[in-house]
Amino acid sequence: MSAHSSPALHCTQQMRRSCSRCSIQNPKSKIQNTAGRSSTKHDYTQSGIALLEMTAALFILVVGLFGAFNLYYVGLSKLRTLDEAAIAQQALQNELETLRSTPFASLAVGERPFVNIAPECAQLHLAETKVTISPGPDGIAGLKRADLSIRWITENGRRAERSVTTLIGETTP
């Protein structure tokens, strides 16, 4: 049985030269070009397409990496913003507790900065604190309104503010 009699046995790995019946080529073989001269086969179209595919894949990879780094940076920025807001909220809570523990008669009507400033507030850039004590609503005796606010500039250069308003009543013995 010859190598060309059966399609299944047509081209085997043992063949050293290209087969004339099929398009399977041995990469080391020489083929005849259209002018009849013997030359080594080079497919420049395939290598150009491979270069283009590699460039496109590299571009997609670089865009993906830049996106991942940007996502990481935005996530860290948001975490910092949340941390600053938590510090401001804690400062408001501390000052509110200070006001509630102050005797009612000592709460003077007017505006002043926070009395009890936590060390964490140093992390807030250009923080401004304000406590405003005013008479209670509708002139009710034994009731005062307290407005507390803290303003600062975030790491992104934006102004942020947190505030709380509460009523403080006189306790009877």
pLDDT (0 to 100) of residue 13: 47
Residue 94 contacts residue 118 (beta carbons within 8 Å): yes
pLDDT (0 to 100) of residue 140: 80
User: What is the Cα–Cα distance from 124 to 122, expressed in whole angstroms?
Assistant: 5
Q: Residue 134 has which token pair?
A: 């005013």
Residue 142 contacts residue 104 (beta carbons within 8 Å): yes
What is the residue-level pLDDT of the chain in tens, covering all 173 positions? 444 455 445 555 444 455 555 555 555 545 455 555 555 555 666 777 888 899 999 999 999 999 999 999 999 989 998 999 999 999 999 999 999 888 888 888 999 999 878 788 888 889 999 999 999 888 788 899 999 999 999 888 899 999 999 999 888 76
pLDDT (0 to 100) of residue 8: 47
Annotated domain spans of the chain: 48-169
